[in-house]
Structure 1
């Protein structure tokens, strides 16, 4: 990618797709496979992108009728290392994600806590018919 260049991919979900999280993650892996290694800075950054996407998709599946779109944006900052990656999931729900305190004795409910730890920034924006939860990923520590 050239300095300042941005690439955008949108994965749209059919409401009738079975197992939308699994389906969406398979499509995202296909997209990530097209990016040069320098954009992802190895497996760790790639895994962070996948983990964040999986958590956002799972939340959309669990708390709404399901995801309607998964977006990935990669922007070359012109510095060595990974591109800036933004993962966003759109759904038809109006509820806001909650970052719960970490409680190791609880087997679930930690998704947004994990997302927040991996994110450089994140937020929610309303869209017609629902909301989009977006996460800007920071580069993994060396």
Structure 2
């Protein structure tokens, strides 16, 4: 298939437990979902798992837990959007530190783009990834 065809347009909402079990559950569910959509490159899925872990860990640590996770595939892009209950928008720390602060640097390394937007009662943080070229 040529660029722009890939998996087509698909959207799913992932239910997650609250607290420290959320990142692991999110990794497993997002991987399962992407595989069912035909995105099966193991190296790429590994990178997605790292991004999901950091995204959901940030929700748990800084946002009071993840209120929702949406996964969208559109053409060659996959977008992950996580919602939490904190109105504080994320920002990259200069170098991280002993108590953390490296999550957004890790997300930035693997993502095409990421951002955050306020919502009533909290915020959404989104991450856009390009699908592995062999999967398009």
CA distance in 1, matches of 2:32, 2:83: 19
2:116 aligned partner: 124
CA offsets, 1:105-133, max 9 Å, x none? 74732110111121211111122221110
* TM-score normalised over the length of structure 2: 0.80
Of 29, 32, 46, which aligns to 1:30?
32
1:137 aligned partner: 129
Q: Which has a greater percent of helix?
A: 2
Gaps of 5+ in 2: none
* TM-score normalised over the length of structure 1: 0.77
Residue-pair matches, total: 131
Of 96, 101, 109, which aligns to 1:109?
101
Q: CA deviation at 1:13?
A: 3.4
Q: CA deviation at 1:85?
A: 0.9
CA distance in 2, matches of 1:7, 1:141: 18
Q: CA deviation at 1:32?
A: 2.2
Paired residue secondary structure (1:73): strand
RMSD (Å) for aligned C-alpha atoms: 2.8
* Cα distance change of structure 1 residues 44 and 66 upon mapping to structure 2, 3 Å threshold: same
